[in-house]
Structure formats: C-alpha cells, structure tokens
Structure 1
C-alpha cells in the first residue's frame, strides 16, 4: 500500500515540476511575455493547486488506514470486555462452593490472571484515547493511587515485601497514564531484585521514590536504559520497552525522572512532580 503511494506521489511531483518548467519556458522564451508579475502569480496558483493535489494523494490513504486501525482496535477492545466480565462473574460464583484450600489457591491464580487481563484491557483503552488526544486530567491523591497499585501488584508478587512511607499529596495529572508508569517502575524493581525481596516506596517533598535492593546498574547502563528493547540483564523476561514509555509520559507531563543506581546495591527511581 505505502510503496504504491510513494510511487504515485513521486510521479505526480515529477510531472508537476516538469509542467511548471515547461510553462515557464513557453512564456519566457517563446511568447516572450513581459508581464512577469502575472506570470509569477500564474505559476504560484498552479503550484498551490499541485500542492493541494499532492497533499490529498499523500494524506487521504494514510488517514483512511489509521481510521480503520482505530476502528478495529475499538471493536476488538469492546469484544474483550465481555469474556473478562464473564470470567469475573464465574470466579465469584465458584468461590461460594469451594472448601479445599488448594481449590482456593487455584481460583486465586485465575483471579490474578483475570486482573492482569483487565489491566491490559485498561492499557489498550488508554492507548486508544492517547492516540485520539482524549486524555482526562483530574485531581487525585497520589499516595492513594500508589497504595492501590501496590495492592494490585502484591497479588501478583506475594513473595515481595513492600515498605510504604506515603504522605498525602494531591496532584492534577493523567491518572491512568501515571498508574501505568508506577506499575512499570515497581514491576522493574521486582524483576531486578535479587535475594532481598523488598521494595521501598516513599512519597515526600513532591517526589516519589521507588527503591529496590537488586543488581543495580553502572553509568554505562544508566545511559542506555531509555532505549527501546534495551535490557541490562538479558535473562529477564520482557521486551525492554517499558522505560522508554515511562520517559515519554514524564516528559509530556512535566515530571522529572531520575535514576540513582549502584551495581550489586540497587536502584532508586525518583519521580519529581511540579509544585502547584
């Protein structure tokens, strides 16, 4: 599709330039028109007309393609909501008839997996809204948001001890996007922790600190962490795109993002929010 589009635009551009040069040559060399002002306005008008045609040839197919993708994403997202709701409803019903502790553990794992699907659903919904610039900024207590995200992640990582020191701090921001950022940073902290399964999170002085006691990074690794697909530890699962997304969100929302890390000691991520 795009190859044919490039060829079409290129051919039309060459023909337009050739036509304008031919018209210019005809009026200056053959007919020897003396009114250069009229000639220039004529050429300008033809150039603008040709530019409008080229723009239409370039933009319309892309616009149609993007619109189709957005419609497909929206429809797919809508279809995902039904099975997630069905799973949640049946889990709730199954819990009532369970007696075995093993069965409760199995249901808990299914419930955690369902919550992860719900999280992915929310992220897809957020990405669609982000593309359409339909993001809502609202006032909320950042400490409460952090608590909710930790409660969610505790069910996924029950072996991790979360130490929280949170003071109330009301901000106005993109709540859904910031939730994704916090989840990503805590998830990274968990993945890169070693034998000390403890994550310290504190909120003070307009700043959020997320500290792990894992493998840490040196100066060279710190420079590369925002590159897409970069992972300081190749044995870790994931695609290495999370921190680049975090960086884009922080830049777009005036949040200062800093890393402090030492090899074999751990890493501290600092999100500094602007003061109102």
Structure 2
C-alpha cells in the first residue's frame, strides 16, 4: 500500500532518517575504527612474534653449527621459513641473504615501505654472524584484506540499517497518516452531510414567503438532521461536556418519543416501523439513551431498502433493532464500531454513529451483539444488566 505523505510528514520522515542514519553512521564508524585498531595490533603482534621466533631459531642453528663444526646452508634455512632473511657480521656487512634494503641497525624493528624488518643479535658472532635480519611481506596484505572486510561489512550493515530505518519510519508514520486521512474524510463527509439538509432548506425557502406544507415538512426534516449531526458531534468530541446525572429512567417512554421523531423520515423511504415495547427501567442519563436510540434507528432507516421494515423491540431487559436493509459483510462486522469507519460509501454518513453506540454501551455496561447478512438486513441486540 502506497502511503501519501504531506509536506510536514515528509519533512518529519527525512529528519528521523537523517538523525537515525547519522547516529548509526557515527556509531558504526567508531566500532569499525576500534575493530580495525584491535585487529591490526593483533596482526602486528602475531607477525613480529613469528619473526622473533624465526630469528631466534636461525641464531640457535648458527650457534649449534659452530659447536658441532658444521656449516650452515642458507638454502635450507630459506626453505623452512616464510620470511626473507639475511646474515650480517659485526661491521654490518651482509654475509648471505635476500634482503636488498640498506638496513638501519639502530632499531630492533623498523618499517621499510610496506614491510617490517626485525634485527636479532642473539647469534653473538658465531660463524662470524652477529645479526640475523628477518623481513616480512604479509603484514600490509593482511591489513589491506582487513580494510576490505571492514568496508564491505560497514556498507552491508549500513544498508541494512537504512532499509530497516526506512521501513520503521514508514511503520511509525503510517498510523498518523491513516488518522489524518480519516480526519480529512470525516471533514469532507461532515461538510457533505451538513450541505444536504442546508441545501434542502434553501431550496424550500427560495420561492418567496409562501411555503407549502410539503416544503415545511422538508425544512423540518432538514433542521432535525442538522440538529442530530450537531448533537452527535458534541457528544463524541466534547469530552468535557456537561452531562446529565444518570438515574433510573423509563427508557420505554424515551424510545417511543424517538420513534415518533423518526416516523416522518421513515415514511420518505416508505419504511414501516413495527414496535413491541414493554415498560423498562434502566440506570442511564437521558441524553446518552437518546443518542443510543437515534443512531440505531437512523442507521436502520438510512441503510434500509425502499419499502422495507424495521422491528424495534424492548422487553426482558433487551432492546432489538432489526432492519431489512443492505446488511454488513461478515469481514466488516469487527470494524463497525471504530470511529470514522464506514462499511460502504453509498448511503453517506461519516462513521461516528456506531462508535457513539459502542461508547455508551461501554460506559453503562450494556452488552451489544450484531447479526447481519448481506442483502437481508442487520439486527442489533442490546442487553441491559438488571
């Protein structure tokens, strides 16, 4: 699903990615540098230790050769070591070996170009050899390979962090974007819902001062619709609104009043309202119960078919509102009480009516069940606890 972002959301996304990737880059750079220093020092210690061991071994071979009156073979020495070597006398003259550089004997280990040279004086002049010089050619190759590995690992990890950060940012911003889209749609739908009755009123009053009974009826219905929209918005969004104190109410009387209120609207669609209402008392505030009834009855009319029926039953601590309308898909039933949710865009509305019903039911511990079949109708069952 493509997420359409506003300029401010894009800016927030870029800032988040910049901060996330910038801090990740700095942290990875520090880790890579520390790893490089540790590994290069380890390589250096390992190679120089090897060189010292080889030099000591050659010196021992020279000393042993003199003690046993044997001669040393440079070729044989060369076969057994992985380094270049050379033997020098006390005047720093090379006796044998394959090291071409001019050696500085003032330091035990010295760097020459891309190599290290180690000088060992443990031969002590035996067979005329005072210095054993070892030259390695692998340290900088190892360092080059190490840098390659670190760079490749750095790029792979940073690419992974970039992709992860991008998807995390989209995941975090998606709920905000969805809520913005819902709010935008809500504003559009509210404007449309208000425009319809206002247009009807203007049309009815545009012909002068004389109004027919039919026009008066239309104005009355339109004004009632605007009033209902206003009351729903106030109930849902003004959380600090002043509410009536709950009390034990004859909800059957209130329900009958609201049914009379909706009969004119139902007659416009030739929808017949059938009732079976018994005396019932419930602890609730009047405005909340009116909102509960109005939204259920209004939906039953709005989503009903022309010439359909509505059954409203109140008895045995249950209120049932059943219609013969378009019904609700089973997959959508779990979402119908969400704010701004609309199962279809055919009949208008802006998706807050059933959310109000759900809010009131939660507040007064009323169990609400829904049964619906597409193209057959929907039944809402409210169970009031005694």
- Say yes or no: TM over 0.5: yes
Shift of 1:196: 4.2
Cα distance between partner residues in 1 of 2:372 and 2:278: 24
Q: Partner of 2:217 in structure 1?
A: 108
Change (3 A) 1:177 1:134: closer
Q: In structure 2, the residue corresponding to 1:234 is in which secondary structure?
A: coil
Q: Partner of 1:180 in structure 2?
A: 291
Shift of 1:206: 0.1
Q: In structure 1, the residue corresponding to 2:338 is in which secondary structure?
A: coil
Shift of 1:202: 0.5
Q: Partner of 1:141 in structure 2?
A: 250
Q: Partner of 1:239 in structure 2?
A: 350
TM-score (norm 2): 0.42
Q: Give the number of the structure whose alpha-carbon radius of gyration is greater.
A: 2
Q: Deviations over 1:134-169 (max 9, x none)?
A: 432122211111111111111223222110000110
CA contact (8 A) 1:200 1:212 kept: yes
- Cα RMSD of the aligned pairs, angstroms, is 2.7
Q: Partner of 1:191 in structure 2?
A: 302
Cα distance between partner residues in 2 of 1:172 and 1:103: 43
Q: Deviations over 1:87-127 (max 9, x none)?
A: 9xxxxxxxxx98xxx71111222223233344455556656
Shift of 1:239: 0.9
Q: Deviations over 1:171-212 (max 9, x none)?
A: 120210111111111111112212442111011110000000
Change (3 A) 1:105 1:216: same
| 1:50-89 equivalences in 2 (<5 Å) | none
| 1:130-169 equivalences in 2 (<5 Å) | 130-132=239-241, 134-158=243-267, 159-169=270-280
- Gaps in structure 1 of 5+ consecutive residues: 1-86, 88-96
TM-score (norm 1): 0.58
Q: In structure 2, the residue corresponding to 1:157 is in which secondary structure?
A: helix
Change (3 A) 1:215 1:118: closer
In the alignment, which of 377, 380, 385 is matched to residue 266 of structure 1? 377
Change (3 A) 1:136 1:257: same
User: Which region of structure 1 is more displaced relative to structure 2, 200-209 or 131-140?
Assistant: 131-140
Cα distance between partner residues in 2 of 1:176 and 1:142: 11
CA contact (8 A) 2:272 2:307 kept: no
Matched, 1:200 2:311: yes
- Which is helix-richer, 1 or 2? 1
Cα distance between partner residues in 2 of 1:215 and 1:128: 29
Shift of 1:248: 1.3
Q: Deviations over 1:54-92 (max 9, x none)?
A: xxxxxxxxxxxxxxxxxxxxxxxxxxxxxxxxx9xxxxx
- Gaps in structure 2 of 5+ consecutive residues: 1-200, 202-208
Q: In structure 1, the residue corresponding to 2:346 is in which secondary structure?
A: coil
